[in-house]
Amino acid sequence: MKLQLITLGCSKNRVDSEHLLKQIEQAGIIIVPESEDVFVVKPDVIVINTCGFIQDAKTESIEAILSAVAVKQNGLVKKVFVCGCLSQRYFNELKHEIPEVDAFFGADDQPGILKALGISFSPSLACCRHLTTPSHYAFLKISEGCDRNCSYCAIPLIRGPHRSVPMEQLLQEAEILAANGVKELIVIAQDTTYYGLDLYQKRMLAPLLEKLSEIKGIEWIRIHYSYPAAFPMDVLELMAVNSKICKYLDIPLQHS
């Protein structure tokens, strides 16, 4: 069986796709790069990991779904599965409007997708990924969801409350990435500054960054998606003395 997974939206979605692809790859399914022409490679299954955040992203996701359905109707693909934020947010509406899709899945339903492919979820692969970025860098998603409930942002509605990934799991994932040639980690979350508050009852971004910088092979660590209010100053202090922490912050002023 051949499978093509198309990832739309943000880098957090890409990490989700990479975890899913590793599970699929280990089961012996051939992974077709998303850049390949579907009419040439003719995958048996297309999975679309959608974005449902802003209008342009919704439109792009709908167009990708309809394109995959058209390919299926032409007999080139056997099944089309849809997952991710758009599917999570508009699950019932999509099932009603696009019944040609074989199955829709929520943003966190990796086991459901695997089951539909005839694969059992393997917990031993939780820290492993099939990278889709250039080999020298990778995104490291340190948490999911958000607790802030900003009036202009739909992420808590789609992704739920903030949940930090345990530090030991992140370090194991980063060590595997480094062993596979990754030199730069781009640390991402909906709000990286919130990391650790739920698990450790205090902000733990700086301790996490320090431990990541100790991993052999990791040369640069870049921080994205930092909420400006109550920014943990120990992160700036670490930046000043640790050459592996890039003196760079991605601080979005407003999401939609």
182-215 pLDDT, tens digit per residue, is 999 999 999 999 999 999 999 999 999 999 999 9
**pLDDT(76) > 60:** yes
Kindly state whether residue 181 falls inside one of the protein's structural domains: yes
CATH code where residue 176 lies: 3.30.750.210
Domain span holding position 105: 2-125
pLDDT in tens, 4-55: 999 999 999 999 999 999 999 999 999 999 999 998 999 999 999 999 988 9
pLDDT band at 254 (very low <50, low <70, confident <90, very high): low
Listed in sequence order, the residues at least 6 apart from 251 whose beta carbon sits closer than 8 Å to its beta carbon are 226, 227, 228
Closest CA to 36 of 67, 13, 5: 5
Same domain, yes or no, for 15 and 100?
Answer: yes
255 HSE (CA, 13 A, CB side): 22
**Alpha carbon distance 241, 196 (integer Å):** 22
**Pairing state of beta strands 45-50 and 137-141?**
unpaired
Same domain, yes or no, for 241 and 168?
Answer: yes
Listed in sequence order, the residues at least 6 apart from 48 whose beta carbon sits closer than 8 Å to its beta carbon are 5, 6, 8, 61, 64, 65, 68, 80, 81, 82, 83, 84
Kindly state whether residue 130 falls inside one of the protein's structural domains: no
**Alpha carbon distance 113, 108 (integer Å):** 10
**pLDDT(255) > 90:** no
The total domain count for the chain is 2
**Alpha carbon distance 180, 80 (integer Å):** 31
Kindly state whether residue 144 falls inside one of the protein's structural domains: yes
Same domain, yes or no, for 58 and 97?
Answer: yes
Same domain, yes or no, for 70 and 13?
Answer: yes
